[in-house]
Structure 1
Amino acid sequence: MINMTASIYLDYAATTPMDISVIEKMTDTMRNHYGNASSIHQYGRNSKKLLEHARKTVAEYINALPEEIIFTSGGTESDNTAILMGAHARSDRGRHIITTAVEHEAVLKPLKRLEAEGFEVTYLPVGITGELDFEHFKEAVRQDTILVSIMSVNNEVGTIFPIEKIGAFLSERDILFHTDAVQAFGPLKIDVKKAKIDLLSASAHKIYGPKGVGFLYKRKNIAIPSFMLGGNQERKQRAGTENLPAIVGFEQAVCHMKANRAQFNQHAVNLREQLIYELNHQAINFQINGNLSQQVPHIINLYFPNKLAEQLLIQLDLKQIAVSAGSACTAGSIKPSHVLQSMYGDQSDRLMHSIRVSMGAFTTEKDIKDFVKVLKEIV
């Protein structure tokens, strides 16, 4: 038996540990900058300076203008705002929306609400590799299509979607284009101008920042009403007092990621190669879900034919190893992964026998070796 003396965290796609520099920045802000950024006195003005500096930093990271960044409580609020408000703002032009069958629930559930209101939604399937057929996408676009919401990177399998091709195609047709970039923001270089994105959602806690803060990029001249009603914060685009410590922490996480992105990605590539090597070396029966050449390096989805994912999660957790069976936001659910369902069909054995392993900056080679040794005992 393997003697585990320390826990192993392999669920970075769900959330990342906060970087120490982020914690320090947030602590200083909570201690010394407690003024409301909407107040006109010096405490408020000092907080406003920090807020606008963070906005500028985040905007530059995606080649946006500062006034195009709306700070929110995270990816879910950003997705909901873009989809619900975007659809309602353009409902006089049509009521057809396009998305994929493998989106995060923060996209799928607002779309279900819109369907109940009379909108028509086309859910594009993905292929066995998890990739979207671009020609199939183009065929789905209609005269009454007003909104397209397609994720940049799938959160369960790690598939990268052709956002730039989609953006270029839609820009010629005046169709609102939203992308959930929560898993892409950080690992991938995003240029909203080059990709012709109208609306983009991102979250801090995927890039070693705090939970409960994110942003919605809204391209200049795109008019959608505010989702949150109340005060006039965020240029009247999002009511509610800004969470300044979290926003400053988000800014620091962006700076940290910008300086270390290439190093982080290479580290993830090395860990993924080591994981595959160790699995083969230990003669474990497994297969990879998706196409590694079209995926971000820190996420790998593994199929184990003879072991239910739920059993794997429990047994690994007892050994202090954390992995996932899909999206963390559906934790506790025993229903099959809708992502794998779209890839392999309703009856595939993979739906209930696959786990997601996601690695990050603090994952070590020893973590990978120990994880595979324990996995060998279990399977």
Structure 2
Amino acid sequence: MAALFRRSSTICQCQRAFSTSTPRAVSLQWDKNDPEALAEVLPPYPYGPTRWYKQSRLGLYGGQRIQFGNNVGEKFKTKSRRTWHPNIFTRKLFSKSLNRVVQVRVSSRVLRTIDKLGGLDEYLLGEKEARIKELGESGWWLRWAIMQTPTIQRRFRGERTRLGLAANPEQNEVIEEAFQNLAIAEKSTEQLLEETEPITMDGAFTVEQPANLPVIKFRVAPGKHVMLTPNGWRRTRPSPEHWQKPIKEKITAEITSPVARKVQQYAKILDKEQSQPDAVQLTEYSRARLISLAKQQYKAELAPKIEARFSKHLLLLRRKKALRTKRKVLRKRKLTGWSEEKAEQQMNRKGQELAKSVKLVAPAKI
């Protein structure tokens, strides 16, 4: 589940060069995600980030870190400083819930605990305080990942039934959606590649995806999923208009800035009317409701102005982009055959046209 929300520009190279063997595993490292996006879907780790021996954030170290002490000579009791490092391995462990092999950095002590409990899933799903502390941030992330799978959701539903608790309708919806999501494996590979984008990975946590198994798909938000395919971890593409949202928010903030002052003036007028002896006294709820309705009305009046300025701003950007493209084409096709003076004249003329177009479509003050 690596880098699930980070913007990715390159495709993960998951094939070994000059090899016909099984594709290399794809990373499951959690710390490459966008922190803000990750905070929206992942519950915060209750014990906070690792403060000492920070490489333990990248694996299942079980809370172990470097120990410091002394070597003491037998004869003269001479002391010399020394350190004890935890015994760390890179192992491939099978996850029943993911139905995949997960490659993870793990200490020898945690490895013995996993063998004793009967698998990686049982270790990650431990509920005691000491186990949660041992997991660390990466283990907490991996625990959340397996809890989204249909296998674990079915297990939780069975536990609620045995305890006599009412079924959680939201959980049932998630389970049904998880089973429906497995049907994505029936899609052609070309269609899947068109609808999704790759996620850049590294090698701390990895999951192997055999070609004969269905796609693993996690729901991280309404209509947004991340999935493990034979081509690596991928996510649903963002909306092509996502870059327009910050622009519109900025324009809205500029135009609606006087609304707060108008609301304050309305509140003062309302208080002045309430001070009259023959006025009907309003409750706190009624007063707050009137102020809220006035605020909504002020914003509704400004909505056409916001749309007008936003459309003009988009027109300006499109004209700039068109001129920029035209200049590039001219530079490629004609610049090599022109003299320096003619080329400079052409560039100056295009610059003047750009300035005129900017003046023509600049948003008027509203």
Q: Is the pair's TM-score, using the shorter chain for normalization, greater than 0.5? A: no
TM-score band, normalised by shorter chain: under 0.3
Which structure's residues are more often helix, by fraction? 2
